[in-house]
């Protein structure tokens, strides 16, 4: 706004004219007074002397442009936000006023509602969306579990991530509405199949699955089934393909916002996790033999998202309202059964993870190996592919314990979980996950480095896993007792060492400063909140005051409280 | 300034009139333009819109009145200073500009100039003024060392404080100019003595000290010597008084600012430390027998300050320019020798402390007991009178080692220092000062509590004491080897445990949070600076990187640096 003396006169005269010609009776004194007061108040705030003042920060090296009003100095938030790492944003309130929201941390605390129940949700994992994360390459069409790119861009199975995937779906299954489900085909030949002339589809008894299934054969054009779903995006089916032909399942999706662009999701017999070209996204099912049966449960929007990510089309969330699931197509030669459309399928995703853990455990060590190099810090030897993680073991045990419970006592899960206890008794330097702080306090290592770095959140996740197995295994059973001993041993260490993670205004992520003689590794606020959430959970299982008081103090830190000085 | 629309009009019209009737040729356009620009610029800064905005701190509980200019929010320092504990003041610069000095901490770092030398100043103690502190009741006329009121208002000898008193004077003796010294009397009868008729003064040979001394006898009125010193305020003398008469030495001081108010400092045969009444301040010499000789070295300004403090006249510093030392008076019956006036007497004060340690060591335990109850925390058992302190032992050893060196090898000091090593080998729970962190790392306790709390600065002072004895005791001697073993053992623990004191943005004063399961006890900035100064000193004696890098990082914390988060 540009103003000079003439516009000021203009404003004044205009006002006087308005006043003079006004039809309202009370214009004269009252309105004039209000106007006069406004000018006066603005003028007073001007002469109240808000002036610039130079701020010298810690000596002369840093200057900041501040303001001074009377004798109060005002510091710009733009400086403070980096200096102190605080957060702030201007919010417009309902009455069009602006307010500035200052926050010390950005994370959320989940308070426990009663004693933790191992049959229930896993911590706050009902909020996790593991497979949507950028560091998930795709959900494997072969295994139905996520493939990680966190430490290797080619993709690998990361046990911790798979456990989190499974536990999040277990938790969502308990907290979200039941899925809508529609059986499209279960071996009675849906009349809506569109079969080209040269192709063939029929019902046939399959000895392998001991059931009637769809037997299909197509040449150039596929056999297809129109679905047209804007609400449900989960497809599950059993399929057995011929390896000698280029057989595949293709699902088409239309982007209704982008000029009806059509995407083809191909599920093919390949060892590749995922690749994409043009409008085609390929997921490899890793068929092991001719007409070997595979069970697939696909969130086709996730499959689309991962393909788009590979094509660099997007790295962010998929908006489901944009899309329509159009067709389900059969190419080549194969069998199909149990084709179902649903709005979600958390429990299948949970069991996919549980099956992965049953299938991929190294029975000798009891571990699920991490097939990547893990570099922790420049001053510590990297972990070579093959290392185990107490956090991965622990979360897998939480998952398998729940699978044992949910399946009504399927002992396969229980036995796998028990075998997974082995590494908790083997020192990290010998391939296990056990270390000792100052040769005294046993600790379960998220990363079994030598020397150990004592990561807190990973340790507490492993404790929760041990507790889950203790409490869900048959009462008094050997496995329950074994898990209990490891859980108590760990809890004793936690109570002894927890104070070492208290930094007076933050929490430490680990104790690498103690073992590597370097600066403390402060937990960012979301890990700090994770620490607190884990402590609040454990406090319902162990009434030691140090757990309660530490959690309370750490919640204070999130609001700017600090331990006092002497 | 109160303004309304009429005054605004008035200002404008006045200006137009001034312009019109102006005799200056160029008034019209140019001046009008300037005026218009000024108004415009003021108005623009007004419409630039520095407006108030409400800041909500961590949710809705705290509101702060902030300012917003364009889209930058400004936070008042009055809020920040408490929230973050930072310091700030407005400084007027030479060109009458105001600047705001923001500082994160208030303490000073002393960088080492070359390798630490045990014969030199003790850390930065040349800056200490131990006897001026409020918690010093007085300098005992009996012992020449400070009497503490820190944990008992009646006053007691606190070994740590006595060591600091001695070490500060040793260090001042090395760094400050040599004193001006004037012998007033040394057994040859100064002709300026003013002797009332009924009194008598003469030279007499005294067999006890094997020397000619003053032999005095006065009745009602004292024998006096005019001194009239405005520069020198140290008096030292040897005196032997009759206990059967009310004999005493009195020094008069005039307050030249307060209508020549006169203060009488009485040095009397009493077990009382100090008392005061009217204009009389009494220091008790604790004469043990009739005509027993005492050597006194008195800073009469300190004696006056402590008396005024007792009379509640002042609790602060004495301004020496206000005072004149007037007379030295003899009351009753006694002997006097070696009366000297000087500007300072650091080395006597140093030796007074060293003598105190020789005299008061408990030969069995090797310790100097602390005769007070020490309450550390509500959650730990108080120390009952009689406890020893590794810091007190260590600083006494630093003092005695220097006395051994400075005296040219007087073995009394060396033997006392060696005996003082005993408690470093006895567990705190058995009356010594030795504890172990996690049953592994030996530690020397400033306060031998059970459980230990591992105070860092006290531990490092004890290490410096051990090093001083090792390096000043005869090369290769048993005592040197014994001190060396304890010093190396302690240094190993320091290097292992130092990281535990790193709080990421401050240092911890101790590890009570680990042993008592409570909040960390953050070191206030002057203790934080002490930690750094001690580390910088120790880094010249041990090249372990953890000492160097920790010191450097902790210096950064004083300027707002923080350990990074993940």
pLDDT digits (tens, 9 = 90+) for B377-425: 899 999 999 999 999 999 999 999 999 999 999 999 999 999 999 999 9
Q: What is the pLDDT of residue A280?
A: 96
Q: How far does A254 lie from chain B, in Å, by closest CA?
A: 41
Q: What is the pLDDT of residue B38?
A: 54
CA atoms of A453 and B438, how far apart (whole Å): 17
Say yes or no for a CB contact (<8 Å) between A104 and B58. yes
CA atoms of B394 and B406, how far apart (whole Å): 18
Residue A437 pLDDT more than 70? yes
> Mean per-residue pLDDT for B542-566?
94
Residue B130 DSSP one-character state: G
CA atoms of B429 and A519, how far apart (whole Å): 34
Report which of residues A211 and B15 the model is more confident about: A211
> Mean per-residue pLDDT for B208-220?
91
Q: How far does B491 lie from chain A, in Å, by closest CA?
A: 15
Q: Which of residues 515-534 of A touch B (CB under 8 A)?
A: 517-524, 527
CA atoms of A160 and A465, how far apart (whole Å): 12
DSSP string over A268-302: ES-S-SEEEETTEEEEE----STT-EEEEEEEHHH
Say yes or no for a CB contact (<8 Å) between A102 and B57. yes
CA atoms of A390 and A420, how far apart (whole Å): 10
DSSP string over A299-323: EHHHHHHHHHHHTTS-SS---GGGE
**3-state percent breakdown (helix, strand, coil) of chain A, nearest 5:** 35, 25, 40
In this complex, the residue of B77, B520, B553 whose CB is nearest that of residue A75 is B77
pLDDT class of B315 with cuts at 50, 70, 90:
low
Instruction: State whether residue A24 sits within 8 Å of chain B by CB.
Output: no
CA distances (Å), B429 to each of B50, B387, B391, B450, in order? 64, 10, 17, 6
Instruction: State whether residue B565 sits within 8 Å of chain A by CB.
Output: yes
pLDDT class of B107 with cuts at 50, 70, 90:
confident
Residue B216 pLDDT more than 90? yes
How many CB atoms are located within 10 Å of the residue B314 CB? 12
Residue A233 pLDDT more than 80? yes
Instruction: State whether residue A275 sits within 8 Å of chain B by CB.
Output: no
Mean pLDDT of chain B: 90
CA distances (Å), A361 to each of A52, A156, A365, A428, A487, in order? 67, 15, 8, 18, 21
Contacts of B490 (CB under 8 A, 6+ apart): B442, B443, B444, B459, B462, B463, B466
Q: How far does A155 lie from chain B, in Å, by closest CA?
A: 23
How many CB atoms are located within 10 Å of the residue B62 CB? 14
Report which of residues B169 and A316 the model is more confident about: B169
Q: Which residues of A touch B506 (CB under 8 A)?
A: 504-505, 565
Residue A198 DSSP one-character state: T
A542: left (phi over 0), alpha (psi -120 to 50) or beta: beta
Q: What is the pLDDT of residue B344?
A: 95
pLDDT class of A505 with cuts at 50, 70, 90:
very high
Say yes or no for a CB contact (<8 Å) between A513 and B505. no
Residue A224 pLDDT more than 90? yes
Q: Which residues of A touch B68 (CB under 8 A)?
A: 90, 98, 100
Q: What is the ipTM of this complex?
A: 0.85
Instruction: State whether residue B441 sits within 8 Å of chain A by CB.
Output: yes
Q: Do residues A119 and A472 touch, judged by C-beta distance below 8 A?
A: yes
Q: Do residues A336 and A213 touch, judged by C-beta distance below 8 A?
A: yes
pLDDT class of B42 with cuts at 50, 70, 90:
low
Among the listed ranges A151-160, A399-408, B10-19, which one has the minimum average pLDDT value?
Answer: B10-19
Q: Which residues of B touch A441 (CB under 8 A)?
A: 438
In this complex, the residue of A101, A500, A521 whose CB is nearest that of residue B514 is A500
Strand pairing partners for B442?
B436
* Mutation target among B510, B542, B562 for the A interface, most CBs of A within 10 A: B562
> A283: cis peptide before it, omega within 30°?
no
Chain Cα centroid distance, residue B34: 59
pLDDT class of B324 with cuts at 50, 70, 90:
very high
CA atoms of A387 and A378, how far apart (whole Å): 18
In this complex, the residue of B43, B99, B519 whose CB is nearest that of residue A53 is B99
Report which of residues A420 and B105 the model is more confident about: A420
Residue A118 DSSP one-character state: T
Instruction: State whether residue A561 sits within 8 Å of chain B by CB.
Output: no
Residue B148 pLDDT more than 80? yes
End-to-end Cα separation, chain B, in angstroms = 54
Alpha-carbon torsion A255, A256, A257, A258, what sign?
positive
pLDDT class of A401 with cuts at 50, 70, 90:
very high
Q: Do residues A535 and A473 touch, judged by C-beta distance below 8 A?
A: no
CA distances (Å), A192 to each of A201, B226, B338, B456, in order? 12, 127, 124, 81
> Tokens 């960088």 sit at which residue?
B111
pLDDT digits (tens, 9 = 90+) for A69-103: 888 999 999 999 988 889 999 988 878 888 999 98
Say yes or no for a CB contact (<8 Å) between A58 and B505. no
In this complex, the residue of A3, A43, A438 whose CB is nearest that of residue B440 is A438
Among the listed ranges A31-40, A208-217, A450-459, which one has the minimum average pLDDT value?
Answer: A31-40
- For B102, the closest chain A residue by CA position comes to A57
pLDDT digits (tens, 9 = 90+) for A473-489: 999 999 999 999 999 99
DSSP string over B224-264: EEEEEESS--EEEEEEEE-TTTT-EEEEEEEETTTTTEEEE
Among the listed ranges A18-22, A310-314, B467-471, which one has the minimum average pLDDT value?
Answer: A18-22
Say yes or no for a CB contact (<8 Å) between B4 and A40. yes
* Mutation target among A65, A85, A503 for the B interface, most CBs of B within 10 A: A503
Say yes or no for a CB contact (<8 Å) between B8 and A519. no
Instruction: State whether residue B83 sits within 8 Å of chain A by CB.
Output: yes
3-state secondary structure of B194: strand
How many CB atoms are located within 10 Å of the residue B426 CB? 17
> B451: cis peptide before it, omega within 30°?
yes
Residue A25 pLDDT more than 50? no
Residue A38 pLDDT more than 90? no
pLDDT digits (tens, 9 = 90+) for A137-148: 999 999 999 999
Instruction: State whether residue A39 sits within 8 Å of chain B by CB.
Output: yes
End-to-end Cα separation, chain A, in angstroms = 54
Q: What percentage of chain A exceeds 90 in pLDDT?
A: 75
Q: What is the pLDDT of residue A324?
A: 95
Residue A23 pLDDT more than 50? no
Contacts of B108 (CB under 8 A, 6+ apart): B529
Instruction: State whether residue B454 sits within 8 Å of chain A by CB.
Output: no
CA atoms of B221 and B86, how far apart (whole Å): 60
Chain A / chain B CB contacts < 8 angstroms: 250
B560: left (phi over 0), alpha (psi -120 to 50) or beta: left
Q: What is the pLDDT of residue A41?
A: 55
A26: left (phi over 0), alpha (psi -120 to 50) or beta: alpha
Q: Which residues of B touch A458 (CB under 8 A)?
A: none
pLDDT digits (tens, 9 = 90+) for B219-267: 888 999 999 999 999 999 999 999 877 899 999 999 998 788 999 999 9
Instruction: State whether residue B80 sits within 8 Å of chain A by CB.
Output: yes
Q: Do residues B446 and B389 touch, judged by C-beta distance below 8 A?
A: yes
CA atoms of B383 and A420, how far apart (whole Å): 50
pLDDT digits (tens, 9 = 90+) for B457-506: 999 999 999 999 999 999 999 999 999 999 999 999 999 999 999 999 99
Mean pLDDT of chain A: 90
In this complex, the residue of B4, B84, B566 whose CB is nearest that of residue A36 is B4
Q: What is the pLDDT of residue B14?
A: 45
CA distances (Å), B489 to each of A526, B443, B514, in order? 41, 9, 22
CA distances (Å), B49 to each of A97, A233, B76, B77, in order? 15, 52, 17, 21
Q: Do residues A489 and A480 touch, judged by C-beta distance below 8 A?
A: no
Residue B140 pLDDT more than 60? yes
Q: Which residues of A touch B556 (CB under 8 A)?
A: none
Residue B339 pLDDT more than 60? yes
Chain Cα centroid distance, residue A251: 26
Q: Do residues B53 and B73 touch, judged by C-beta distance below 8 A?
A: yes
Q: How far does B3 lie from chain A, in Å, by closest CA?
A: 6
Q: What is the pLDDT of residue B58?
A: 87
């Amino acid at each position: 706004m540009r103003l000079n003396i003439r516009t000021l006169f203009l404003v004044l005269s205009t006002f006087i004219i308005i006043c003079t010609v006004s039809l309202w009776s009370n214009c004269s004194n009252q309105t004039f007074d209000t106007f006069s007061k406004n000018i006066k108040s603005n003028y007073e705030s001007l002469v109240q002397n808000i002036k610039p003042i130079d701020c010298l920060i810690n000596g002369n090296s840093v200057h900041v442009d501040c303001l001074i009003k009377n004798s109060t100095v005002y510091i710009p938030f733009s400086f403070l936000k980096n200096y102190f790492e605080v957060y702030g944003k201007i919010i417009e309130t309902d009455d069009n006023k602006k307010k500035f929201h200052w926050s010390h941390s950005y994370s959320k605390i989940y308070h426990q509602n009663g004693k933790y129940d191992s049959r229930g949700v896993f911590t706050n994992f009902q909020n996790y969306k593991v497979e949507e994360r950028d560091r998930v390459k795709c959900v494997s069409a072969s295994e139905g579990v996520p493939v990680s790119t966190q430490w290797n861009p080619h993709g690998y199975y990361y046990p911790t991530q798979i456990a989190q995937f499974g536990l999040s779906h277990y938790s969502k299954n308990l907290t979200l509405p039941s899925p809508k489900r529609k059986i499209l085909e279960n071996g009675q030949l849906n009349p809506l199949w569109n079969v080209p002339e040269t192709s063939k589809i029929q019902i046939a008894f399959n000895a392998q699955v001991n059931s009637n299934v769809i037997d299909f054969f197509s040449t150039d054009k596929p056999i297809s089934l129109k679905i047209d779903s804007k609400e449900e995006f989960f497809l599950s089916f059993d399929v057995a393909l011929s390896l000698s032909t280029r057989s595949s399942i293709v699902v088409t999706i239309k982007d209704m916002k982008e000029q009806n662009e059509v995407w083809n999701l191909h599920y093919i017999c390949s060892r590749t996790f995922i690749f994409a070209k043009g409008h085609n996204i390929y997921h490899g099912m890793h068929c092991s033999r001719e007409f070997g049966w595979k069970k697939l449960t696909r969130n086709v929007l996730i499959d689309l998202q991962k393909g788009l990510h590979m094509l660099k089309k997007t790295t962010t969330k998929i908006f489901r309202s944009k899309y329509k699931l159009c067709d389900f197509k059969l190419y080549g030669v194969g069998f199909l059964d149990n084709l179902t459309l649903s709005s979600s399928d958390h429990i299948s995703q949970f069991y996919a993870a549980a099956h992965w853990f049953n299938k991929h455990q190294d029975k000798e060590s009891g571990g699920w190996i991490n097939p990547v190099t893990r570099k922790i810090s420049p001053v510590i030897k990297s972990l070579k592919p093959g290392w185990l993680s107490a956090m991965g073991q622990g979360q897998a045990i939480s998952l398998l314990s729940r699978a044992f419970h949910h399946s009504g006592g399927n002992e396969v899960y229980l036995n796998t979980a028990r075998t997974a206890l082995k590494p908790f008794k083997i020192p990290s330097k010998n391939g296990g996950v056990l270390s000792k702080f100052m040769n005294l306090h046993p600790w379960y290592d998220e990363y079994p480095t030598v020397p150990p770095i004592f990561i807190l959140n990973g340790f507490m996740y492993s404790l929760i896993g041990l507790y889950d197995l203790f409490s869900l295994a048959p009462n008094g059973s050997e496995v329950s007792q074994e898990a209990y001993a490891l859980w108590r041993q760990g809890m004793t260490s936690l109570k002894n060492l927890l104070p070492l993670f208290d930094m007076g205004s933050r929490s430490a992520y680990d104790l690498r400063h103690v073992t590597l003689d370097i600066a403390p590794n402060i937990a960012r606020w979301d890990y700090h909140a994770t620490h607190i959430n884990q402590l609040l959970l454990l406090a319902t299982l162990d009434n030691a005051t140090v757990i309660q008081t530490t959690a309370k103090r750490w919640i204070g830190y999130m609001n700017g409280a600090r331990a006092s000085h002497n």
